[in-house]
Amino acid sequence: MSHGHEADTLGAHGGHALPHSHKKQYIILGIVLSIVTFIELGIPLFKGVPELWSAAQEVWAPLLIVLSIFKFGAVVGDFMHLRNDLTLYKFLFISPLVLAMFSFFAIGSLSVVHFHPFGKGYAVTAQDLADGYVPPTVGGGADAPLADDKFEAAFADAQKTGFAKGKETFTASCVSCHRADGGGMPGLGVNLTDDCYKHGGKIAALYTTIAKGVSGTAMPAWQTSMDSEKLRQVSYYVRSLKGTNAAGGKECEGAKE
């Protein structure tokens, strides 16, 4: 790959030969990378061809990942010269890269276990919650809020302690919008002490609303900071407030239950 370009150079320093030019190599690599990019872009277009498209997850997704790894390697190895550079530079770059990939895949696999990116397909919307959809993290296994038929016993258990655990959580996290007595605040939390509920007053519905929050309002998704036991206990406490009709509470919102 040696090219003599001495004619229009500033004049090489006496005796020191210029390093080899890699111009041709770079241009060829640029063309190859362009072709690879066009192939990548073409893959989503297969959507119009059902026979090709049925293989999407099995073939096309891994192919896209392999092609991006190729591009990544080509840019780092050739444009950044790392392939023929010092081991020290390789170590400085590749070791954090490997660590970053480990954490990336660790986090990624957690998200598959705890959430459901491939389950329902997409985000749970407020409409889904209103329709009674209970996400797997909330509805399944040991995390489940107790079904309504078991509600009496569990509620009675919590009642023995005066809903102490739930009240503690409520005092720590909920009173800034729902008021200490649950009466609610204009523009913020609803009144929890009347018989009206916007997203359902049954224990499972209360649990889901508290866990997932309500989009477009100030109500956050508490499952990001509370475990299911806390969510359960605070649901019981909120349920216990029903009908206590706090003085000066907010007007009825939603449906009477």
Partner 1 sequence: MSAHAENLTHDDAHGHDGHGALAENNFLGLPNIKLAMWAFLGSECMFFGSLIGTYFFYHGNSLSGPLPKDVFSIGITSISTFLLLMSSVTMALAVDSMKQQKPSTARNFILATALLGATFVGFQVLEFHEFYTEKHLVFAGPNASLFGSTFYTMTGFHGTHVTVGVIWLVIMSILIQKKKLVPGKEAVNVEVMGLYWHFVDIVWIVIFTFVYLLEFLK
Select 99 or 164, whichever has its Cβ closest to partner 1. 99
Q: Which is nearer to partner 1, 26 or 255 (CB)?
A: 26
**Shortest separation between residue 206's beta carbon and partner 1, angstroms:** 17
Judged by beta carbon, residue 117 or residue 162, the one nearer partner 1 is 117
- In three-state secondary structure terms, 256 is strand
CA distances from 85 to 80, 242, 250 (A): 9, 71, 70
Closest CA to 120 of 133, 107, 138, 105: 133
DSSP string, 202-218: SHHHHHHHHHH--TTSS
Nearer to partner 1, 184 or 213 (CB): 213
Q: How far apart are CA 37 and CA 186, in angstroms?
A: 54
Minimum CB separation of residue 163 from partner 1 in Å reads 27
Q: How far apart are CA 35 and CA 52, in angstroms?
A: 20
Shortest separation between residue 35's beta carbon and partner 1, angstroms: 11
Q: Provide the minimum distance between the beta carbon of 145 and partner 1 in the complex, in angstroms, as a whole number.
A: 18
